[in-house]
Structure 1
Amino acid sequence: MSTSDGNAAEAPIMLDGLDLAALVASRVCHDVISPVGAIVNGLEILEDEKDEGMRGFAFDLIKKSAAQASARLQFCRIAFGAAGSAAAMLDLGDAEQVARGFVEDQKTKLTWEANRQLLPKNMVKLLLNLVLVATTTIPRGGVIAVSASGEGEATEFRLSSTGPQARVPANVLLLLAGQAPEDRIDAHVIQPFYTGLVARAANMTVTIEVEVEGETIVTIARPGAAAETVETLTV
């Protein structure tokens, strides 16, 4: 059965370019501030601590946090940044590499079955942003499986998120469709809203399916008319 939120039929919210840039920048800073802060803490320990065990802990913390900060910046460069000219083509292999670095941790694993190919920039940006949306559907961790079918601009993306208590977060469908509670967008909700903007720019339609029998959320992006609504299906 297919249902769509009635508010999604309204005209999408339009953000001023400066406001959009500021909110996306806030989101990027949010992603990198934690590992950078951990690096600072590690350096402070090295400066003050004489115990070799604590100094070893500090080195490990700095090394892990620096790698995490680098991975997040590389991901954000493609998912949110320009990454080339307006007509640039991006490699799905590069998308896989940065997605693995950003997503994988002790709770969440990523499987990738999208063959390497060059695709229009906005299609690859959309896929990476849908990976981020997928992480929000499994708050207790799990597995995100990414696959692609077709070639070139006819490529279709499918992301299956499986984990305990999988669910579609409140307001995500509205945000993907360009709507927001009380018609207000802030840094906390800019990422799914931005994902909807990229979907429309890539001329792709996003659908979210909820599998009742399992704990799986399936997100599909299909080429077609730019999506003014985002549907949720129960299968």
Structure 2
Amino acid sequence: MGVDNANLAALVGSRICHDLISPVGAINNGLELLGMAGSMSGPELELISDSVANANARIRFFRIAFGAAGDQQMGRAELISVLEDISKGGRINYQWSPLEGCTRSEARLSLLAALCLESALPYGGTVKIFCAGGKWTVMGEGRKLNVDDELWARVSGGNSNAEITPALVQFALLPEAAKEADRTVRLEQSLEKITLQF
């Protein structure tokens, strides 16, 4: 793998997620031991446990979305597990519909698209991921969509002067990842639904 700016950013993302997952897992193991020993219980332990589970889910999600991609296969069960875990207690419900696994590159594109859609669903909603005949569809549905046209123009390769902040980095990464995978992102929007296809 050559190291250009996009690859370097993906490698940094992979490294950060890899280094964070072990301490978060250790905290979770420590909480389980405290619970088994009976030395700590109640809403405090539940709050800490829920927070650790959420952090673990987000790190696993970010590792796929922002980490290095390639032709390695990812299992369907792993992707469903990540999306189910990140949906718990959140305002967005993620659904993975493909019946087969996929390449890490396809999973990365799907999760970057999901993050873009998440930003348009301030009141929550559902993000569904489909694949048919090698064509991917990632659809976000919810009430009162919040769509910044300048920002979304960037996703489908249009000209955009929208400022990319850390919270919106997925809007810059998705078209680059699509280009790297020889795909084009298409955008469709209605009153309560946004669909990305690649």
TM over 0.5: yes
Equivalent position amino acid for 1:130 in 2: A
Aligned residue among 83, 94, 97 for 1:110: 94
Aligned equivalents of 2:120, 2:53: Cα separation in 1: 25
Match of 1:181 among 141, 161, 172: 161
Are the equivalent residues in 2 in contact too, given 1:93–1:116 (CA < 8 A)? no
Residue 163 of structure 1: how far off its partner (Å): 1.0
Alignment deviations for residues 79-100 of structure 1 (CA, whole Å, 9 cap, x no partner): 21236xx442323442232123
Q: Secondary structure at the match of 1:181?
A: coil
Mapped partners of 2:158, 2:85: distance in 1: 29
Counterpart among 190, 205, 208 of residue 184 in structure 2: 205
Q: What letter corresponds to residue 132 of structure 2 in structure 1?
A: S
- Name the structure 1 match of 2:195: 218
Query: 1:135 Cα deviation (Å)?
Result: 1.0
Match of 2:48 among 62, 67, 81: 62
Aligned to 1:8: none
CA–CA separation in structure 1 for the residues paired with 2:42 and 2:99: 41
What residue number does 2:138 align with?
159
CA RMSD, Structure 1 to Structure 2 (Å): 3.3
Looking at structure 2, the residues matched to 211 and 145 of structure 1 have their Cα atoms a distance apart, in angstroms, of 16
Cα distance per residue 1:33-72 (max 9 Å; x no partner):
xxx8xx9xxx9xxxxxxxxxxx722211110001011111
Does the CA contact (< 8 Å) of 1:160 and 1:219 recur in 2? yes
Q: Number of aligned pairs?
A: 175
Structure 2 gaps, min length 5? 32-40
Q: Secondary structure at the match of 1:204?
A: coil
Higher-Rg member (1/2): 1
The alignment status of 1:78 with 2:64, answered yes or no, reads yes
The structural deviation recorded for 1:171 is: 2.9
Counterpart AA for 1:90: M
Cα deviation for residue 167 of structure 1 reads 4.0
TM value normalised by structure 2? 0.72
Report the equivalent of 1:21: 9
Q: Which residue of 2 aligns with 1:133?
A: 116
**Amino acid of the residue matched to residue 102 of structure 1?**
I
Q: 1:188 to 1:135 in 2, by over 3 A?
A: closer
Deviation digits for residues 13-32 of structure 1 (CA, Å, limit 9, x no counterpart): xxx7299739x75xx89xx9
- Structure 2 CA distance for partners of 1:178 and 1:195, relative to 1, 3 Å: farther
Q: Are the equivalent residues in 1 in contact too, given 2:127–2:140 (CA < 8 A)?
A: yes
Structure 2 equivalent of residue 232 of structure 1: none
Structure 1 unmatched ranges of 5 or more: 1-15, 44-54, 222-235
Q: TM-score, normalised by structure 1?
A: 0.62
Q: 1:188 to 1:171 in 2, by over 3 A?
A: farther
Q: How far 1:106 sits from its partner (Å)?
A: 4.5
> What is the aligned-residue identity percentage?
27
- Which protein has greater RCO, CA pairs closer than 8 Å, 6+ apart? 1
Question: Is contact 2:57-2:86 (8 Å) kept?
Answer: yes
